[in-house]
A = this chain, B = another copy of it.
Amino acid sequence: MASNGEWKVNVPDETLVIEPTVSKRMYIQLQGKILKSLKRIGNFWVKAKNIATSDPRKVIHGVKVGMALSLVSLFYYMRPLYDGVGGNAMWAVMTVVVAFEYSVGATIAKSFNRASATILAGSIGVGVHWIANQCGEELEPVILQASVTILAAVATFSRFIPSVKARFDYGVMIFILTFSFVSVSGYRVEKLLELARNRVSTIAIGTSICIFTSMLFYPVWAGNELHNLVYKNLERLADSLDGCVTEYFKDSKEDRGRKHEGYKFVLNSKAGEEVMANMARWEPPHGRFKFRHPWKQYLKVGATMRSCAYCIETLSGFINSEVQAPELLKKHMKEVCMTLSSSSSNVLKELATTTKTMTKSTKTHLFVQEMNFAVQSFKNAFKDLSKQALLLTEHEAGEEKSTEGTKTIPIMAIFPIATMATLLIEITERVESIVTEVENMAAQAEFETENKPSKRDQDLK
């Protein structure tokens, strides 16, 4: 019976054949996912490595933050007033983590915002506390709540005003934070004053560690970055312009590279320029930049550069365009176009040198004259073009036949070259407005006058 009973145990209809397939499928899926995520980690690692190698200052910034944090924690290890989380150490650590930015200007801006907003909000908070205290126990929480709500609402709205946003965005946030802390906290004004003293001293320690670390070890000055960006963008424009026109007149289409895409960088540098100019205003004089260096003028130069870049963008659109001018016409116009574009890019390069070396160049006006002369001879070349009967007369136009003997070209064929011409002339006009703005910058920043050519040549090397 027992053995019979054993035999009666139902073997469930297990689909053993399918199971390995399911597990295998899961295994393959898992393998695929692991491989995919490994690949993603690999890609991430490559990206990080590229950033580190292309700009080692970013690695140095990381090290600096680590150093500043070590410093601040060491400072509190060594002091008896250390009392764990919630105590003073915390505020100093927080200040370092939050206020330490990549550039010196941004660090100073954040430190200043943090310190002044804390002091301001603290004093207003204590004042409101005192007033609320005088109004009796019933009214006190109502007054405190109302003041927090109203001040927070007004301060938050003020962050939308561009002038506040640009300079004091972080400060307003800290203001709301501190004011709320003071209001939400206990009731005695004496305790508050003691806390306030501690807060101020810890913030002072935190901000000074931030500012000194960022200024003394491999400093990154926002002003310097902006200055470099502007002259590099001038160079980029010059190279793009040259590149575009050279490509257009190249014989074979195959070896058209992408060397002329620097203008795209110029198109997208507006936001970066504005941030840097805002930060640069907080920085003390450094290197070649004196107090009250005209950082705002860099934005004007940037705007004119972008206006020129728009034109170059349109121009580059025609290079790979399907409608191309006939070879005959191209050959005829090649030289004048090249002269015109290289004269414009010479002006741009000279402006880049002026900005880079911070020396007023005597050559700029010479180059501008040369450019204007090139525009004139360019126009003359087109007059010659019609003299040489390259254009179709009315009878031939109807038939649209281009017999090489009579050197006729349909009217539409002249369009690409005419557009090229007009764009190049427009670019020269926009280059002239860059010249004006760079000269304004040179005047405002009191660039040196070029009187020691030997010294300047050394700088250029």
Interface residues of A (CB under 8 A from B): 44, 47-48, 51-52, 58-59, 61-63, 65-67, 69-70, 73-74, 76-77, 84-87, 89-90, 93-94, 97-98, 141, 145, 148-158, 160-163, 173, 176-177, 180-186, 195, 267-268, 270-271, 307, 310-311, 313-314, 317-318, 321, 323, 379, 382-383, 385-389, 391-394, 397-398, 400, 410-412, 414-416, 418-419, 421-423, 425-426, 430
Closest approach, in angstroms, between the C-beta of A46 and any C-beta of chain B?
11
Q: How many angstroms between the C-alpha atoms of A318 and B145 in the bound complex?
A: 60
Q: What residues of B have a CB within 8 angstroms of the CB of A48 in the complex? A: 157-158, 161
Closest approach, in angstroms, between the C-beta of A229 and any C-beta of chain B?
16
Closest Cβ neighbor of A417 among chain B residues:
B418
Q: What residues of B have a CB within 8 angstroms of the CB of A426 in the complex? A: 314, 317-318, 321
Closest approach, in angstroms, between the C-beta of A40 and any C-beta of chain B?
10
Q: What residues of B have a CB within 8 angstroms of the CB of A391 in the complex? A: 391-394, 411
Are the CB atoms of B423 and A411 closer together than 8 Å?
A: no
Closest approach, in angstroms, between the C-beta of A249 and any C-beta of chain B?
18
Closest approach, in angstroms, between the C-beta of A264 and any C-beta of chain B?
10
Given A69-B149, A141-B77, A419-B423: A62 and B176 within 8 A (CB)? no
Q: What residues of B have a CB within 8 angstroms of the CB of A271 in the complex? A: 270-271
Are the CB atoms of A93 and B154 closer together than 8 Å?
A: no
Q: What residues of B have a CB within 8 angstroms of the CB of A387 in the complex? A: 394, 397-398
Q: Chain A contact residues: over half helix, strand or loop, or mixed? A: helix
Closest Cβ neighbor of A416 among chain B residues:
B422
Q: How many copies does the complex hold?
A: 2
For the complex with contacts A66-B149, A73-B184, 9 further pairs of A-B residues with Cβ separation under 8 Å are A47-B162, A97-B176, A307-B313, A310-B310, A321-B426, A379-B412, A383-B400, A386-B394, A418-B419
Q: What residues of B have a CB within 8 angstroms of the CB of A181 in the complex? A: 85, 90, 93
6 interchain pairs, CB-CB under 8 A:
A48-B158, A48-B161, A94-B177, A97-B180, A386-B410, A388-B394
Are the CB atoms of A145 and B74 closer together than 8 Å?
A: yes
Closest approach, in angstroms, between the C-beta of A181 and any C-beta of chain B?
6
Closest Cβ neighbor of A83 among chain B residues:
B186
Q: How many angstroms between the C-alpha atoms of A156 and B267 in the bound complex?
A: 29
Closest Cβ neighbor of A58 among chain B residues:
B160
Q: How many angstroms between the C-alpha atoms of A417 and B144 in the bound complex?
A: 69
Q: What residues of B have a CB within 8 angstroms of the CB of A317 in the complex? A: 311, 426, 430
Are the CB atoms of A66 and B148 closer together than 8 Å?
A: yes
Are the CB atoms of B418 and A52 closer together than 8 Å?
A: no
Q: What residues of B have a CB within 8 angstroms of the CB of A61 in the complex? A: 156-157, 160
Closest approach, in angstroms, between the C-beta of A226 and any C-beta of chain B?
17
Q: What residues of B have a CB within 8 angstroms of the CB of A141 in the complex? A: 77
Q: How many angstroms between the C-alpha atoms of A426 and B416 in the bound complex?
A: 11
Given A66-B153, A157-B59, A177-B94: A84 and B411 within 8 A (CB)? no
Q: How many angstroms between the C-alpha atoms of A245 and B288 in the bound complex?
A: 48
Closest Cβ neighbor of A86 among chain B residues:
B86
Are the CB atoms of B62 and A156 closer together than 8 Å?
A: yes
- Give the 9 A-B CB pairs with smallest separation, nearest first: A62-B157, A66-B153, A386-B397, A418-B418, A419-B422, A389-B394, A66-B149, A62-B153, A86-B86
Closest Cβ neighbor of A314 among chain B residues:
B314
Are the CB atoms of A44 and B161 closer together than 8 Å?
A: yes
Closest Cβ neighbor of A77 among chain B residues:
B141
Residue from A48, A313, A422 having most chain B Cβ neighbours under 10 A: A422
Q: What residues of B have a CB within 8 angstroms of the CB of A76 in the complex? A: 184
Are the CB atoms of B411 and A415 closer together than 8 Å?
A: no
Given A58-B157, A157-B62, A195-B85: A152 and B411 within 8 A (CB)? no
Given A141-B77, A184-B89: A422 and B318 within 8 A (CB)? yes
